[in-house]
Structure formats: structure tokens, C-alpha cells
Amino acid sequence: MTTVALTFDDGPYPGTTPALLAALGDALATFFLWGEHAAAHPSLVRAIAAAGHTIGNHTWTHPRLTGLDAGARDEEVRRTQDLLGDLIGTRPALFRPPYGDTGPAVAETIAGHGLTEVLWTVDTRDWAGASADEVVAAAARTEPDGVVLMHEGRPATVEAVPRILADLADRGLRPVPLPSSRP
């Protein structure tokens, strides 16, 4: 069976993360966590990890990284690495830049933290207010070995997940987390 990575940015959120975890059931995904949100909701970070999902770094304040100087960029990444490492016992190996805003300076910063950048092959546009039907339709465009971008704080996304999982199964695709963490 061929695989697809379902990814969720910006969490955790107390209003949607528990429902999202329930909607995923036994399916595993990758969660790119916003440091400020993780600091505010450490029990949700631990719940994501305990369910077997991969956790990645999505910066501390969700800025456009290419507009920051090197020190500020490093602080965004380091603070989140430190917090997530403390909360789950391992430091993330994966990084997703907010807005997909990346470039050579961002690559240099994350390399300094031993992180691998992950973008996506399909954007569900849930961040722009897409309905559950639109999120499902977008995710249906994913190809084998694709990476689907979704966001944790969107009720339409939570509603869409069971239908996305059913569609993937019908197409012979299995959701898997991206390669996880390092000690």
C-alpha cells in the first residue's frame, strides 16, 4: 500500500485538537506546533505525542521568517525546539516555516538546529476558510507519497478528516506520519 502524509499546522487548540485526535483514530499524522500555543496547552502536546503522531516545529510566534534577522529567526526556532523537547522528551527533527516562507537564510537557521524542512504537495486551503467539502476535495488530489497541508484550529478540517481517511483507503493510500524525531 502506498502512503500519504497528513500534516496539521498551528496547534494545539483546546477547541479542536481533541476532536481532531478522535477523528484520526488509529491513523497517524504529523503536527507542526506553534510554540506559543504549545506553551499554553502542554497537555495537548503530550496527548498528540502519546497518540503516536510525529511532532514538528512551526516557530514560536508564527512570523514570516524571511523578514527576520538571523538572531530573531534563531530565537523562533530554538524556543520551540526547547519547549517541545521538554514536553515530549525528544526534540523535533522536522520544521515547517509559517506560510511556507522559506529561503537560504531559513535553511541555514534550521540546519543549525538539525531540522529538516517539510513543505507540502497539496494545500487544502482550510486556512482560507475552505468548507469541509472543499477540504475533502483538495485532499483527494494528493498523489502517492504526497504531503497534505491542513490546520488544527479549523472545525471544517476536523469534520473533513474521516472522509479524507475513507477516500485515501478507497484509493489504496495509507496515511503515515513523516519520519519523526531524534534524541
Q: Which of these, 11, 23, 22, lies nearest to 163 by C-alpha position? A: 23
Give the C-alpha distances (Å, rounded to integers) separating 144 from 110, 124, 129, 148, 174. Answer: 27, 16, 26, 11, 9
User: Does pLDDT of 181 surpass 50?
Assistant: no
151 as an active site residue: the answer is yes
- Confidence (pLDDT) at 182: 37
- For residues 13-25, average pLDDT: 98
- For residues 136-160, average pLDDT: 97
* Sign of the torsion formed by the C-alpha atoms of 180, 57, 2 and 49: positive
- Confidence (pLDDT) at 44: 98
- For residues 160-178, average pLDDT: 97
Taking only the tens place, the pLDDT of each residue in 91-144 is 999 999 999 999 999 999 999 999 999 999 999 999 999 999 999 999 999 999
Taking only the tens place, the pLDDT of each residue in 37-93 is 999 999 999 999 999 999 999 999 999 999 999 999 999 999 999 999 999 999 999
Among 37, 113, 151, 167, the active-site one is 151
CATH topology of domain 2-182: TIM Barrel (3.20.20)
**Contact between residue 94 and residue 116 where contact means Cβ atoms under 8 Å apart:** yes
- Confidence (pLDDT) at 100: 97
Give the C-alpha distances (Å, rounded to integers) separating 29 from 48, 65, 113. Answer: 10, 25, 22
Among 9, 10, 41, 53, the active-site one is 9
Give helix 155-170 / helix 132-139 axis angle, nearest 10°: 40
Cell of 105: 537564510
Instruction: pLDDT band for 180, please (50, 70, 90 cuts).
Output: low
User: Does pLDDT of 14 surpass 80?
Assistant: yes
Type and span of the H or E element at 175: strand 173-175
pTM of the shown model: 0.96
